[in-house]
Amino acid sequence: MQKAIRLKEINTILVQCNEVKSMATDPVCLMIIDEEDAKITSTHKNQKYYFCCNWCKKQFDENPKRYSRISNDVSVNLKEVR
pTM for the whole structure: 0.64
Rounded Cα distance between 45 and 74, Å, is: 19
Kindly report the number of other CB atoms within 10 A of residue 23's CB atom: 19
Coil, helix or strand at residue 41: strand
Residues 6+ apart with CB under 8 A from 30: 70
- What is the reported pLDDT for 78? 54
Q: Which spans in 17-76 are helix H?
A: 54-62, 64-68
Exposure b/e, 29-53, CB count within 10 A at least 16 = b: eebbbbeeebebebeeeeeebbbbb
| pLDDT tens, residue by residue, 6-55 | 554 554 455 455 566 788 889 999 888 888 888 999 999 898 999 999 99
Query: Domain coordinates of the chain in residue numbers?
Result: 7-81
